[in-house]
Amino acid sequence: MAPVKRRPSVDGAAVFLCLLAASCGSLTAALLVLAGGALFLLLNLLMLFIFRPLTGRARNAASLFFAAALYTALRLALSAYRPAWLAAMGPEWLTAALFLFSAPAAVTLMEKKPVSSKRLALCSLALLVIGGVRELLSAGTLAGVRILPDGFPVSDSFAFGGAGLIIAALLLALFRIRGQGKLISYRVPEGLLYAVGALGLTIAAGAFFALLTRLFPLPGLWRPFLAAALAGLLALAVGAALREKPNEAPVKATLRAVFADGTLPALATLAVLAADRKMAEAEALPLFGGTAAAALILGLACALIAAAVPRLDTSGNPHLPVSFRPLPVWLAAAGMTMFVLSVLPK
């Protein structure tokens, strides 16, 4: 029997769980993102079941396209009928990341054994506790009801800031919610190729996005849909161009795995949307200036994460308590990074 080839990838379900924990900035936010996240995940799984004959890359693109359509519909509905719920869910970029990453999460879950109902209940309880603790520490309230006395020291950072992410990481570890295996299975050289792929895909998708939105202006709520469609289709096209051949170079095989990874177009979509918001705020920026900057930042971030993988995502690391491997430590690292970025000059 021929040996099974290792397929490097990012665990979309684990990233989705981290984003869920990060989005639970209050008890109300926790309830909303739990309901929305569960709905998006179920609908994505249903879509994948219906279109199960699709190949891996086509499945990734269709899933991201579907998640973006659901996210657009959700924002339209909440903006019209429940704007307070939309505000309670936290920063727009975090909400977009959460719901767009329901696509790679669903793809990952299709390939894994089913999660037990007991485990799902424990995760839900942990997320509710995270939301309650962060609201208490950030506002002194619980579901809007005053609990702590006036004057008690609280900090906004516990809501959607770095302190909130660290609290979320500690509580995930307390509940022993660690994920399954590695969050990122790329080795360092492979992770650097992932960074190159993220940079290139963001530049390409962002260039098309900027050109199309300049020619055909779209309302803000529909822009995530277009960005996701472009990133998904471009990743599909590049992956198809990198067809497997006998005796091919390892670099080409790794690039094919990178573009078959459902997290890559989701990340590129978020970077394109970030550039679009920045260019809307600063009209003096050239047409593709924001896109190039966002692509460079994303590429550098992916390269730094690739370098950190051996320290943060190694299940056998004796310096990390077992309950912290790997999800809580990644979430805590994200919180500390937010603290570092907050002291840098704007």
pLDDT digits 0-9 by tens, 229-274: 999 999 999 988 888 777 778 888 888 889 989 999 999 999 999 9
pLDDT at position 143: 86
pLDDT at position 282: 63
Q: What is the pLDDT of residues 142-186, one digit of tens each?
A: 988 888 888 787 889 999 999 999 999 999 999 988 776 678 888
The overall average pLDDT reported for the chain is 87
Q: 295 is written with which tokens?
A: 């692509």
Q: What is the pLDDT of residues 283-342, one digit of tens each?
A: 555 556 778 889 999 999 999 998 888 777 655 566 666 667 788 888 998 999 988 887
Strand partners for 145: 142
* Higher per-residue pLDDT: 344 or 226: 226
Measured on CA atoms in the order 329, 269, 158, 74, is the torsion positive or negative? negative
Do the beta carbons of residue 201 and residue 237 sit within 8 Å?
no
Answer yes or no: is pLDDT of 1 > 50: no
Mean pLDDT, range 8-35, rounded to an integer: 93
Do the beta carbons of residue 79 and residue 219 sit within 8 Å?
no
Burial of 241 (0-12, 13-18, 19+ CB in 10 A): exposed
Question: Is the omega angle on the peptide bond into residue 53 within 30 degrees of 0, that is, cis?
Answer: no
53-83 exposure pattern, b = at least 16 Cβ within 10 A, e = fewer: eeeebebbbbbbbbbbebbbebbeebeeeee
Answer yes or no: is pLDDT of 190 > 60: yes
d(CA 313, CA 324): 10
